Structure 1
């Protein structure tokens, strides 16, 4: 994975959530997230010895290691308390998305908040509940699509596509179509129908609270933490 592209995506990811921007860490990056179930994340463009070193030195729960590679790379090097997370897919779309005309059904309202660097598109119900939402973040010559979500009660109605195309219109109005996102397994198929292509697999691992060596009665003196 191109380190330059990864940095742009991770910066967009951080801006989307109002978090500190990523800082360089060896060949990758670190973001201090500060959430109860994600304290920090280390993200690398390729598998390297730095990931192995971190996996062996971190014993605190909820610090994520992420790499643009297959989950297979972790299986022989991870201490047993690390858990591989559901797969992700780094994707890009460097031209306008494929046309897919979908009209917003009755009972829904499209709301757009266009700001720099983060724009937000929402589909709301008539009662004001969020049926679908997504964000677009401008990072230099890239546009990052992030947090594209549809409420499970409103799926299979084309709302995610409407969100994506609405965000794309904002990007095009600013002269940019160089899109990057990380998809879930469920979302990947939708993006492919719109012309997105796979750049890299994206694998995450973490020590959950109940598997941390810090919690183990066999290790009463352990007090490790992330670097």
Structure 2
């Protein structure tokens, strides 16, 4: 199975506090424990390595609502493989990776516009970064979960009122440096199109497209 997928699974589990992944012959099963995401099945191959018959078999075995599939290949292909009762995310996503290196020059806090404040903290090895505006309101955030030589970046977000000011870049740089200090060498994430635009300017590359599917039940709207 693809090592980047395994790295993403391990880091996502650490970041979100989900159950340890159960290894299957086709990928991984993760119990999340949320009402809208009880369990997720993550297929371990990417791109041309993803087999239609395998996806169909796993999907057809799902009978309970709010079970998710994560499949790393062209979304249009996967949608045609799923039977009735599956909702698929209409927005594209991407599995991405980057070699982690320490940035040169002043640190992220020094690069912030006037009035912004950067704070970081760690719990259970997961490092979180938050940027607030001059009035104390939330402006941007993110977290990273190092799991050995890889680290998964997760939940990167910037307030609509504070975009295009370099805040997302500052959060990413802060998290990368924290992971490097914990021994990580490669960063991994699952990003949206808007996120991809930022990440690619920071050297990240797309490993595979990602489709998310949720079982809502036959006849559900």
Same fold, TM-score > 0.5, yes or no: yes
- 1:168 corresponds to which of 176, 179, 201: 176
Distance between the aligned counterparts of 1:213 and 1:165, measured in 2?
44
Match of 1:3 in 2: 2
Tell me the secondary structure at the aligned position of residue 60 of structure 1: coil
Larger Rg: 1 or 2? Answer: 1
- 2:67 corresponds to which of 63, 82, 88: 63
Off by >4 Å, runs of 4+ in structure 1: 97-102
Provide closer, same or farther for how the CA distance between residues 173 and 140 of structure 1 changes in structure 2, counting only shifts above 3 A: closer
Task: Identify which range, 104-113 or 165-174, moves more after superposition.
Answer: 165-174
Give the conservation status (yes or no) of the 8 Å contact 1:98–1:194.
no
| Structure 1 position 55, deviation (Å) | 1.8
Give the conservation status (yes or no) of the 8 Å contact 1:97–1:196.
no
How many aligned residue pairs are there?
A: 212
| TM-score normalised by the chain length of structure 2 | 0.86
Match of 1:12 in 2: 11
Structure 1 alignment gaps of length 5 or more: 217-227
| Structure 1 position 24, deviation (Å) | 0.9
1:21-36 to 2 correspondences below 5 Å: 21-36=20-35
Distance between the aligned counterparts of 1:193 and 1:116, measured in 2?
30
Distance between the aligned counterparts of 2:21 and 2:219, measured in 1?
27
User: Does structure 1 residue 84 correspond to structure 2 residue 88?
Assistant: yes
1:1-227 to 2 correspondences below 5 Å: 2-46=1-45, 47-48=50-51, 49-85=53-89, 86-96=91-101, 103-114=111-122, 116-208=124-216, 212-213=217-218
Task: Identify which range, 129-138 or 47-56, moves more after superposition.
Answer: 47-56
Tell me the secondary structure at the aligned position of residue 43 of structure 1: strand
Structure 2 alignment gaps of length 5 or more: none
Q: Deviations over 1:71-125 (max 9, x none)?
A: 1322332113212212210111014377798721223210011455211111022
| Structure 1 position 176, deviation (Å) | 2.9
Distance between the aligned counterparts of 1:97 and 1:27, measured in 2?
36
Give the conservation status (yes or no) of the 8 Å contact 1:9–1:181.
yes
Give the conservation status (yes or no) of the 8 Å contact 1:168–1:177.
no
Task: Identify which range, 13-22 or 45-54, moves more after superposition.
Answer: 45-54
Give the conservation status (yes or no) of the 8 Å contact 2:145–2:179.
no
